[in-house]
Structure 1
Amino acid sequence: RDGKTGQTLLRSVLAPMFVQRALAVRAWSGTNLLGGGDGAALADPAAAAAKNAGKERVLAETLGPGVEGGVHIDDVPALGEWKTAWDHIAFDGFLGSRTVLQTIWQGCDSALAAPLVLDLARLVARAHEAGLAGPCPELGFYFKDPDGGPAGLSEQFDALLSFADRLREAG
Protein backbone atom coordinates (compact mmCIF):
# COMPACT_ATOMS: atom_id res chain seq x y z
CA ARG A 1 0.00 0.00 0.00
CA ASP A 2 1.13 3.51 -0.83
CA GLY A 3 1.61 6.03 1.97
CA LYS A 4 -0.69 9.03 2.26
CA THR A 5 1.87 11.84 2.03
CA GLY A 6 0.71 14.43 -0.51
CA GLN A 7 -2.29 14.93 -2.75
CA THR A 8 -4.38 12.15 -1.20
CA LEU A 9 -3.65 13.48 2.29
CA LEU A 10 -4.83 16.93 1.25
CA ARG A 11 -7.93 15.48 -0.44
CA SER A 12 -8.81 13.50 2.69
CA VAL A 13 -8.73 16.74 4.69
CA LEU A 14 -10.52 19.02 2.21
CA ALA A 15 -13.30 16.70 1.01
CA PRO A 16 -14.95 16.39 4.46
CA MET A 17 -14.75 20.19 4.84
CA PHE A 18 -16.87 20.63 1.71
CA VAL A 19 -19.43 18.12 3.05
CA GLN A 20 -19.48 19.70 6.52
CA ARG A 21 -20.02 23.17 5.05
CA ALA A 22 -22.69 21.86 2.61
CA LEU A 23 -20.70 23.08 -0.40
CA ALA A 24 -21.56 21.05 -3.50
CA VAL A 25 -18.38 20.01 -5.31
CA ARG A 26 -19.00 19.93 -9.08
CA ALA A 27 -15.51 18.96 -10.27
CA TRP A 28 -12.18 17.97 -8.75
CA SER A 29 -9.27 17.51 -11.16
CA GLY A 30 -5.65 16.93 -10.32
CA THR A 31 -2.25 16.71 -11.91
CA ASN A 32 0.85 15.08 -10.44
CA LEU A 33 4.39 15.79 -11.59
CA LEU A 34 6.63 13.03 -10.26
CA GLY A 35 10.36 12.51 -10.52
CA GLY A 36 12.55 9.64 -9.47
CA GLY A 37 11.29 6.09 -9.57
CA ASP A 38 7.65 7.02 -8.92
CA GLY A 39 7.31 9.00 -12.12
CA ALA A 40 8.94 6.28 -14.21
CA ALA A 41 6.88 3.50 -12.62
CA LEU A 42 3.66 5.45 -13.10
CA ALA A 43 4.37 6.05 -16.78
CA ASP A 44 2.86 2.55 -17.08
CA PRO A 45 -0.91 3.10 -17.54
CA ALA A 46 -1.84 0.11 -15.35
CA ALA A 47 0.30 1.37 -12.46
CA ALA A 48 -1.07 4.90 -12.86
CA ALA A 49 -4.65 3.58 -12.86
CA ALA A 50 -4.05 1.75 -9.57
CA LYS A 51 -2.56 4.88 -7.95
CA ASN A 52 -5.38 7.06 -9.26
CA ALA A 53 -8.00 4.66 -7.88
CA GLY A 54 -6.83 5.40 -4.34
CA LYS A 55 -6.78 9.15 -4.96
CA GLU A 56 -10.29 9.08 -6.41
CA ARG A 57 -11.68 6.68 -3.80
CA VAL A 58 -11.35 9.21 -0.98
CA LEU A 59 -13.39 11.70 -3.02
CA ALA A 60 -16.06 9.19 -4.05
CA GLU A 61 -16.51 7.88 -0.50
CA THR A 62 -16.64 11.36 1.00
CA LEU A 63 -18.41 13.43 -1.66
CA GLY A 64 -20.52 10.73 -3.30
CA PRO A 65 -21.00 10.11 -7.02
CA GLY A 66 -21.26 12.73 -9.73
CA VAL A 67 -18.11 14.76 -9.15
CA GLU A 68 -16.42 15.35 -12.51
CA GLY A 69 -12.69 15.10 -13.04
CA GLY A 70 -9.80 12.77 -12.50
CA VAL A 71 -6.08 12.68 -11.88
CA HIS A 72 -3.33 12.94 -14.50
CA ILE A 73 0.22 11.82 -13.72
CA ASP A 74 3.32 13.02 -15.59
CA ASP A 75 6.83 11.58 -15.29
CA VAL A 76 9.31 14.47 -14.94
CA PRO A 77 12.73 12.87 -14.29
CA ALA A 78 14.36 16.27 -13.69
CA LEU A 79 12.38 16.57 -10.42
CA GLY A 80 14.39 13.75 -8.84
CA GLU A 81 12.97 12.99 -5.37
CA TRP A 82 10.52 15.88 -5.55
CA LYS A 83 6.86 15.79 -6.47
CA THR A 84 4.21 18.40 -7.20
CA ALA A 85 0.47 17.87 -6.98
CA TRP A 86 -2.02 20.42 -8.24
CA ASP A 87 -5.77 20.27 -7.62
CA HIS A 88 -8.53 22.37 -9.18
CA ILE A 89 -11.79 22.14 -7.20
CA ALA A 90 -14.97 23.73 -8.58
CA PHE A 91 -17.85 24.00 -6.13
CA ASP A 92 -21.03 25.93 -5.44
CA GLY A 93 -20.55 28.53 -2.73
CA PHE A 94 -23.08 30.76 -0.99
CA LEU A 95 -26.35 31.05 -2.94
CA GLY A 96 -24.91 28.86 -5.69
CA SER A 97 -22.02 31.20 -6.44
CA ARG A 98 -19.48 29.33 -8.57
CA THR A 99 -16.28 29.11 -6.60
CA VAL A 100 -12.87 27.56 -7.26
CA LEU A 101 -10.17 26.40 -4.87
CA GLN A 102 -6.75 25.51 -6.27
CA THR A 103 -3.99 23.87 -4.27
CA ILE A 104 -0.35 23.12 -4.97
CA TRP A 105 1.52 20.58 -2.87
CA GLN A 106 5.28 20.22 -3.33
CA GLY A 107 7.60 18.02 -1.34
CA CYS A 108 10.54 15.67 -1.27
CA ASP A 109 9.09 12.17 -1.50
CA SER A 110 11.48 10.45 0.90
CA ALA A 111 11.21 13.26 3.49
CA LEU A 112 7.41 13.01 3.33
CA ALA A 113 7.45 9.22 3.69
CA ALA A 114 10.14 8.83 6.39
CA PRO A 115 8.04 9.91 9.41
CA LEU A 116 5.25 7.56 8.35
CA VAL A 117 7.66 4.64 8.12
CA LEU A 118 9.05 5.43 11.58
CA ASP A 119 5.56 5.66 13.13
CA LEU A 120 4.46 2.45 11.43
CA ALA A 121 7.58 0.56 12.54
CA ARG A 122 7.07 1.62 16.16
CA LEU A 123 3.34 0.85 16.15
CA VAL A 124 3.71 -2.55 14.48
CA ALA A 125 6.58 -3.51 16.83
CA ARG A 126 4.47 -2.51 19.84
CA ALA A 127 1.46 -4.43 18.47
CA HIS A 128 3.67 -7.50 18.06
CA GLU A 129 4.92 -7.14 21.65
CA ALA A 130 1.27 -6.93 22.77
CA GLY A 131 0.55 -10.23 20.99
CA LEU A 132 -1.41 -8.79 18.08
CA ALA A 133 -1.08 -10.27 14.60
CA GLY A 134 -2.67 -9.80 11.21
CA PRO A 135 -4.03 -6.71 9.48
CA CYS A 136 -4.28 -3.47 11.47
CA PRO A 137 -7.04 -1.36 9.91
CA GLU A 138 -6.35 1.20 12.66
CA LEU A 139 -3.21 2.15 10.73
CA GLY A 140 -5.30 3.31 7.74
CA PHE A 141 -4.44 6.90 8.70
CA TYR A 142 -1.07 6.37 7.01
CA PHE A 143 -2.26 4.86 3.72
CA LYS A 144 -3.86 6.18 0.53
CA ASP A 145 -6.20 3.27 0.07
CA PRO A 146 -6.38 1.41 3.39
CA ASP A 147 -7.90 -2.04 3.81
CA GLY A 148 -10.94 -1.67 6.03
CA GLY A 149 -11.63 1.08 8.51
CA PRO A 150 -13.09 4.52 7.82
CA ALA A 151 -12.28 6.60 4.72
CA GLY A 152 -12.23 10.03 6.43
CA LEU A 153 -8.93 11.27 7.85
CA SER A 154 -10.50 12.46 11.11
CA GLU A 155 -12.12 9.08 11.71
CA GLN A 156 -8.87 7.34 10.76
CA PHE A 157 -6.99 9.47 13.27
CA ASP A 158 -9.52 8.63 16.01
CA ALA A 159 -9.07 4.91 15.23
CA LEU A 160 -5.28 5.32 15.36
CA LEU A 161 -5.43 7.08 18.75
CA SER A 162 -7.70 4.34 20.15
CA PHE A 163 -5.27 1.71 18.85
CA ALA A 164 -2.31 3.51 20.46
CA ASP A 165 -4.23 3.71 23.75
CA ARG A 166 -4.93 -0.04 23.62
CA LEU A 167 -1.24 -0.71 22.99
CA ARG A 168 -0.26 1.49 25.94
CA GLU A 169 -2.74 -0.28 28.22
CA ALA A 170 -1.42 -3.67 27.09
CA GLY A 171 1.77 -2.91 28.92
Structure 2
Amino acid sequence: MLLQRALTVRAWSGTNLLGGGDGAALADPGAAAAKNAGKERVLTDVLGHTPQGEVHIDDVPSLGDWKTAWDHIAFDGFLGTRMILQTIWQGCDSALAAPLVLDLARLTARAHEAGLSGPLNELAFYFKDPDGDGPAALADQYQALLGFAKRLGETR
Protein backbone atom coordinates (compact mmCIF):
# COMPACT_ATOMS: atom_id res chain seq x y z
CA MET A 1 0.00 0.00 0.00
CA LEU A 2 2.75 2.47 0.92
CA LEU A 3 4.67 1.83 -2.29
CA GLN A 4 1.57 2.04 -4.50
CA ARG A 5 0.73 5.42 -2.96
CA ALA A 6 4.30 6.69 -3.48
CA LEU A 7 4.88 7.06 0.27
CA THR A 8 8.55 6.79 1.19
CA VAL A 9 9.24 4.35 4.00
CA ARG A 10 12.00 5.78 6.19
CA ALA A 11 12.14 3.16 8.93
CA TRP A 12 10.66 -0.25 9.72
CA SER A 13 11.22 -1.70 13.17
CA GLY A 14 9.52 -4.62 14.80
CA THR A 15 9.35 -7.05 17.63
CA ASN A 16 8.22 -10.65 17.27
CA LEU A 17 7.19 -12.67 20.32
CA LEU A 18 7.28 -16.34 19.41
CA GLY A 19 6.29 -19.43 21.33
CA GLY A 20 6.71 -23.08 20.51
CA GLY A 21 9.46 -24.36 18.26
CA ASP A 22 9.91 -21.10 16.33
CA GLY A 23 10.73 -19.13 19.45
CA ALA A 24 13.18 -21.76 20.67
CA ALA A 25 14.87 -22.09 17.27
CA LEU A 26 15.18 -18.33 16.84
CA ALA A 27 16.62 -17.87 20.33
CA ASP A 28 19.86 -18.94 18.61
CA PRO A 29 21.57 -15.70 17.49
CA GLY A 30 22.67 -17.22 14.17
CA ALA A 31 19.16 -18.39 13.28
CA ALA A 32 17.68 -15.03 14.29
CA ALA A 33 20.27 -13.18 12.19
CA ALA A 34 19.44 -15.32 9.14
CA LYS A 35 15.70 -14.70 9.57
CA ASN A 36 16.25 -10.95 9.98
CA ALA A 37 18.50 -10.87 6.90
CA GLY A 38 15.69 -12.49 4.91
CA LYS A 39 13.19 -9.90 6.14
CA GLU A 40 15.58 -7.07 5.27
CA ARG A 41 16.17 -8.53 1.80
CA VAL A 42 12.43 -8.63 1.08
CA LEU A 43 11.94 -5.05 2.31
CA THR A 44 14.85 -3.85 0.19
CA ASP A 45 13.57 -5.68 -2.90
CA VAL A 46 10.01 -4.38 -2.49
CA LEU A 47 10.81 -0.80 -1.42
CA GLY A 48 13.89 -0.28 -3.60
CA HIS A 49 15.97 0.74 -0.58
CA THR A 50 16.79 -0.52 2.89
CA PRO A 51 14.85 1.41 5.53
CA GLN A 52 16.33 2.15 8.95
CA GLY A 53 15.40 -0.11 11.82
CA GLU A 54 15.72 -3.64 13.10
CA VAL A 55 13.51 -6.57 13.96
CA HIS A 56 13.89 -8.21 17.35
CA ILE A 57 12.79 -11.76 18.03
CA ASP A 58 11.99 -12.94 21.54
CA ASP A 59 11.35 -16.50 22.67
CA VAL A 60 8.28 -16.61 24.93
CA PRO A 61 7.63 -20.32 25.59
CA SER A 62 4.36 -19.64 27.42
CA LEU A 63 2.81 -18.46 24.12
CA GLY A 64 2.83 -22.05 22.89
CA ASP A 65 1.81 -22.15 19.22
CA TRP A 66 0.90 -18.46 19.17
CA LYS A 67 2.94 -15.50 18.02
CA THR A 68 2.66 -11.73 18.20
CA ALA A 69 4.25 -9.33 15.73
CA TRP A 70 4.45 -5.59 16.33
CA ASP A 71 5.67 -3.31 13.53
CA HIS A 72 6.44 0.41 13.64
CA ILE A 73 6.69 1.90 10.15
CA ALA A 74 7.80 5.52 9.69
CA PHE A 75 7.05 7.06 6.31
CA ASP A 76 6.72 10.37 4.49
CA GLY A 77 3.18 11.28 3.49
CA PHE A 78 1.75 14.11 1.38
CA LEU A 79 4.15 17.05 1.08
CA GLY A 80 6.70 15.17 3.19
CA THR A 81 4.49 15.00 6.28
CA ARG A 82 6.06 12.44 8.59
CA MET A 83 3.66 9.70 9.63
CA ILE A 84 3.69 6.41 11.51
CA LEU A 85 1.82 3.17 10.85
CA GLN A 86 1.80 0.64 13.67
CA THR A 87 0.40 -2.86 13.48
CA ILE A 88 -0.07 -5.58 16.04
CA TRP A 89 -0.80 -9.04 14.72
CA GLN A 90 -1.47 -12.17 16.75
CA GLY A 91 -2.01 -15.62 15.32
CA CYS A 92 -1.83 -19.35 15.86
CA ASP A 93 1.09 -20.68 13.84
CA SER A 94 -0.26 -24.15 13.04
CA ALA A 95 -3.66 -22.77 11.97
CA LEU A 96 -1.83 -20.44 9.57
CA ALA A 97 0.56 -23.07 8.26
CA ALA A 98 -1.81 -26.02 7.75
CA PRO A 99 -3.70 -24.72 4.69
CA LEU A 100 -0.44 -23.51 3.13
CA VAL A 101 1.14 -26.95 3.51
CA LEU A 102 -1.95 -28.58 1.98
CA ASP A 103 -1.84 -26.18 -0.99
CA LEU A 104 1.88 -26.81 -1.48
CA ALA A 105 1.39 -30.58 -1.41
CA ARG A 106 -1.45 -30.46 -3.94
CA LEU A 107 0.34 -28.06 -6.29
CA THR A 108 3.62 -29.98 -6.10
CA ALA A 109 1.85 -33.29 -6.77
CA ARG A 110 0.05 -31.76 -9.76
CA ALA A 111 3.32 -30.28 -11.07
CA HIS A 112 4.94 -33.72 -10.77
CA GLU A 113 2.02 -35.26 -12.73
CA ALA A 114 2.61 -32.60 -15.41
CA GLY A 115 6.26 -33.66 -15.68
CA LEU A 116 7.79 -30.75 -13.76
CA SER A 117 10.63 -31.24 -11.30
CA GLY A 118 13.19 -29.22 -9.42
CA PRO A 119 12.58 -25.81 -7.87
CA LEU A 120 9.13 -24.43 -8.63
CA ASN A 121 9.68 -20.66 -8.50
CA GLU A 122 5.97 -20.08 -9.08
CA LEU A 123 5.37 -21.32 -5.52
CA ALA A 124 7.38 -18.41 -4.03
CA PHE A 125 4.11 -16.98 -2.68
CA TYR A 126 4.20 -19.62 0.06
CA PHE A 127 7.63 -18.70 1.42
CA LYS A 128 8.85 -15.71 3.43
CA ASP A 129 12.25 -15.74 1.73
CA PRO A 130 11.94 -17.79 -1.48
CA ASP A 131 14.89 -19.04 -3.49
CA GLY A 132 15.26 -18.04 -7.10
CA ASP A 133 15.01 -14.86 -9.10
CA GLY A 134 11.26 -14.41 -8.87
CA PRO A 135 9.50 -11.26 -7.72
CA ALA A 136 9.76 -10.17 -4.08
CA ALA A 137 6.42 -8.35 -4.03
CA LEU A 138 3.63 -10.55 -2.68
CA ALA A 139 1.10 -9.34 -5.26
CA ASP A 140 3.47 -10.31 -8.10
CA GLN A 141 4.14 -13.69 -6.47
CA TYR A 142 0.40 -14.28 -6.22
CA GLN A 143 -0.12 -13.49 -9.91
CA ALA A 144 2.68 -15.92 -10.81
CA LEU A 145 1.02 -18.57 -8.63
CA LEU A 146 -2.37 -18.04 -10.30
CA GLY A 147 -0.80 -18.36 -13.74
CA PHE A 148 1.01 -21.52 -12.68
CA ALA A 149 -2.19 -23.08 -11.30
CA LYS A 150 -4.01 -22.20 -14.51
CA ARG A 151 -1.27 -23.82 -16.63
CA LEU A 152 -1.35 -26.93 -14.44
CA GLY A 153 -5.12 -27.13 -14.92
CA GLU A 154 -4.79 -26.83 -18.69
CA THR A 155 -2.35 -29.75 -18.94
CA ARG A 156 -4.85 -32.31 -17.64
TM-score in terms of structure 1 length: 0.88
Aligned twin of 1:162:
147
Segments ≥4 residues shifted beyond 2 Å: none
Between the aligned partners of 1:66 and 1:122, the Cα distance in structure 2 is: 36
Secondary structure of the 1:124 match is helix
Once the two structures are superposed, the pairs formed by residues 1-171 of structure 1 within 5 Å of their partners are 17-148=1-132, 149-171=134-156
Q: In the superposition, relative to structure 1, how do residues 55 and 125 fare at CA in structure 2: closer, same or farther (>3 Å)?
A: same
TM-aligned CA deviation for residue 64 of structure 1: 2.3
Q: C-alpha root-mean-square deviation of aligned residues, in Å? A: 0.9
Pick 1 or 2: higher relative contact order, CA cutoff 8 A, min separation 6: 1
- Identity level (%): 79
TM-aligned CA deviation for residue 135 of structure 1: 0.5
Secondary structure of the 2:68 match is strand
Between the aligned partners of 1:83 and 1:28, the Cα distance in structure 2 is: 19
TM-score in terms of structure 2 length: 0.96
TM-aligned CA deviation for residue 66 of structure 1: 4.3
Between the aligned partners of 1:118 and 1:44, the Cα distance in structure 2 is: 29
TM-aligned CA deviation for residue 63 of structure 1: 1.3
CA contact (8 A) 2:43 2:50 kept: no
Secondary structure of the 2:2 match is helix
TM-aligned CA deviation for residue 65 of structure 1: 2.4
Number of equivalences: 155
Between the aligned partners of 1:41 and 1:158, the Cα distance in structure 2 is: 32
Matching residue's letter, 2:139: S
Structure 2 residues without counterparts, runs of 5 or longer: none
Aligned twin of 1:14:
none
Secondary structure of the 2:52 match is coil
